[in-house]
Amino acid sequence: MRNFLMMMTTALAMLPVQLSAQDLPPGEGQDLVMTSCTGCHGTRNIRNALGYSAEDWKTLALTMIDLDGTPELDIISAYLAEHFPPSDARAPVRVDGPVQIAFESWSGPTRGQRARDPVEAPDKSI
- Model confidence at 10, pLDDT cuts 50, 70, 90, reads low
What is the model's pLDDT at position 13? 47
What is the model's pLDDT at position 77? 94
Lowest-pLDDT range, 43-57, 69-83, 94-108? 94-108
Is the pTM higher than 0.75? The answer reads no
What is the model's pLDDT at position 46? 92
What is the model's pLDDT at position 1? 53
Phi and psi, residue 74, nearest 5° = -65, -40
- Note the pLDDT tens digit of each residue in 92-116: 788 888 888 888 877 766 666 565 6
- Note the pLDDT tens digit of each residue in 78-90: 999 999 999 888 7
Residue 66 has pLDDT above 50, yes or no: yes
Q: 57 and 29 in contact (C-beta within 8 Å)?
A: no
- Can you tell me the mean pLDDT for 27-37? 91
- Model confidence at 19, pLDDT cuts 50, 70, 90, reads very low
Q: Would you give the DSSP letter of residue 22?
A: G
DSSP strands (E only) in the chain? none
- Domain extent listing, the chain: 20-104+111-116
The closest of 124, 114, 119 to 39, measured between CA atoms, is 114
